[in-house]
Amino acid sequence: MIPIYTDPIPALTTSQMIEVDRAMMEDYKISLLQMMENAGRNLAHLARARFLDGDPRGRSVVVLAGTGGNGGGALVCARRLHNYGARVRLLLTRPDAQFAPVPAHQLAILRRMGAPAALADEADGGGETADLIIDGLIGYSLRGAPRGAAASLIDWANRQAAPILALDVPSGLDAAAGAVYDPTIRAAATMTLALPKVGLLAETAVAVVGELYLADISVPPALYAAPALQLTVGPIFAAGDIVRIR
């Protein structure tokens, strides 16, 4: 059972989240690969507990992955769900060679594992109906409405009967202002990372965010308290690596 966290939690602007990522890698030497693994592991745990009845064996999961860090986290989730016994299919926005280095590493692992993958224009070629869709298309760095392959996959996902679990923010939602672009993933639940983003808490975002969970990626409290952020953050994850905050 995922604990509910009711104490006040600071919310981050996009510039603050960029600072968290920078400090993690440069000041604390916590690599992007480590953060990605933490994010994807927690996303797989939430998918299993909340949407797959605690047992992913034989369940059909479609994972939508963009070329950046958000996609990399979703690919880690895909690997773990595959290992748990789920039937995982990947839908990618770009060919493998166009992925950023760390997400490309995650994708290469899945290729070696034999996970089926297709590009956005082949989304309707999977045959079976999915039990769950994982949204890892676009993270907090969104600038303007999604376009191209990402937009096509958002539209495809929203047409499916399966619930959608979004990583960090639903793709198409402005994490800073809460603006809902056309198109935007309509998530049944969103698992955000480290601290909630300001836009996730906006009234305009409620309908697309769904249930809101927060997951640990191992950010030290001292990082939040440093002069660049000056935030007081308590032991949010004392009861579990994932907590529900709405």
Residue 104, classified by CB atoms within 10 Å of its CB into exposed (0-12), middle (13-18) or buried (19+), is middle
pLDDT digits (tens, 9 = 90+) for 35-90: 999 999 999 999 999 999 999 999 999 999 999 999 999 999 999 999 999 999 99
In this model, does residue 29 exceed pLDDT 90? yes
Report the pLDDT value the prediction gives residue 126, as an integer from 0 to 100.
Answer: 64
Cα–Cα dist 51/164, whole Å: 9
In this model, does residue 149 exceed pLDDT 70? yes
Report the pLDDT value the prediction gives residue 1, as an integer from 0 to 100.
Answer: 86
Q: How many CB atoms lie within 10 A of CB 17?
A: 22
In sign, the C-alpha dihedral spanning 148, 153, 158, 163 is negative
Cα–Cα dist 235/239, whole Å: 9
Report the pLDDT value the prediction gives residue 141, as an integer from 0 to 100.
Answer: 81
Report the pLDDT value the prediction gives residue 116, as an integer from 0 to 100.
Answer: 97
Query: Which amino acid makes up residue 230?
Result: Q
Cα–Cα dist 112/57, whole Å: 20
Report the pLDDT value the prediction gives residue 131, as an integer from 0 to 100.
Answer: 98
Architecture of domain 14-244: 3-Layer(aba) Sandwich (3.40)
Helix or strand holding residue 117 (H, E): strand 117-119
> Which residues fall within 8 angstroms of residue 153, CB to CB, at 6 or more apart?
64, 91, 93, 120, 123, 137
pLDDT digits (tens, 9 = 90+) for 226-245: 999 999 999 999 999 999 99
C-alpha neighbours within 13 Å on the C-beta side of residue 183? 17
**How would you label 201-225 residue by residue, b for 16+ Cβ within 10 Å and e otherwise?**
bbeebeebbbbbbbbbbebeeebbe
Cα–Cα dist 13/124, whole Å: 36
Report the pLDDT value the prediction gives residue 128, as an integer from 0 to 100.
Answer: 72
Radius of gyration of the chain (CA): 17
Mean per-residue pLDDT over the chain, rounded: 96
pLDDT digits (tens, 9 = 90+) for 77-130: 999 999 999 999 999 999 999 999 999 999 999 999 999 999 999 888 666 789
